[in-house]
Amino acid sequence: MLVIDPHPLLHASILLAELPGPLGPSPEWLTSCLAADALVPLSADDALRAKVRDLLRVGGFKPTGRSKPASEYLLRAATEGVLASINPLVDICNVVSLHSGLPISVVDAERAVPPFRIGLAPPGATYVFNASGQTIDIGGLLCLHDVDGPCANAVKDAQRTKTHDGTRRTLTVIWGVVGEEERVTRATTWYESMLIELGAVTSRVTPR
């Protein structure tokens, strides 16, 4: 169901999850992990942040300013004490990304239409990334694509495939980097364990 184009630095991990029903608000054990100083199994450093930026530069994209990796945005928000709970699916994504230092995308697998591909977005590509209709230029950026084009990446995911209160199936991409395979494995295991704690059935996707 998913292919990955050749890439010199990408070491991605992909998860599918089936949810039991409406999840409601996030439990306290999850929201407490949104704090920058939470006691959790992973932590990031400046060396990893440089590797992630290098990953996103391969196609000519510039991961700076408002286009910096989502993991960096989360770290700043958590450090400033303004990283708030959204819903359990987004919170799990944000918690693992914040503390692992790896950008993570989570999309509604029923809004996104297979087949899926991970590869560079073409020059000039854009999409809407929030409910206000704001767009991001994703030309040259490594993205998850569905049949309608790019729908998620390590900076900002597309609004059209974002999770919502009625989401029942998710597809998650952990944007890992070559040389950080152990970190990617640990982040995936932690991510998966929290989904299971919420009653989800998970499976790992082996890309072609």
The tens digit of pLDDT for each residue in 171-203 reads 999 999 999 999 999 999 999 999 999 999 999
Who contacts 76 (Cβ-Cβ below 8 Å, separation ≥6)?
A: none
Sign of the torsion angle spanned by Cα atoms 39, 42, 48, 53: negative
Residue 142 CA to chain centroid, in angstroms?
Answer: 12
For residue 165, the model assigns a pLDDT of: 87
Please check whether residue 109 is in contact with residue 98, taking contact to mean a CB–CB distance below 8 angstroms: no
C-alpha 126/C-alpha 118 separation (Å) is 16
| Domains in the chain with CATH codes | 2-35+58-205 (3.50.40.10)
> Which string of b and e fits 43-79 if b means at least 16 CB within 10 Å?
ebeeebbebbbebbbebebebeeebbbbbbbbbebbe
For residue 15, the model assigns a pLDDT of: 97
Q: Is 80 exposed, middle or buried (0-12, 13-18, 19+ CB in 10 A)?
A: exposed
For residue 75, the model assigns a pLDDT of: 97
The tens digit of pLDDT for each residue in 22-60 reads 888 999 999 999 999 999 999 999 999 999 999 999 999
Distance in angstroms between the alpha carbons of the first and the last residue of the chain: 8
**Residue range 57-75: average pLDDT?**
97
Q: Letter for the amino acid at 194?
A: M
C-alpha 98/C-alpha 95 separation (Å) is 5
Neighbours of 149 (CB within 10 A): 15
Per-residue pLDDT band for 118 (boundaries 50, 70, 90) equals very high
Tokens standing for 125? 């590509």
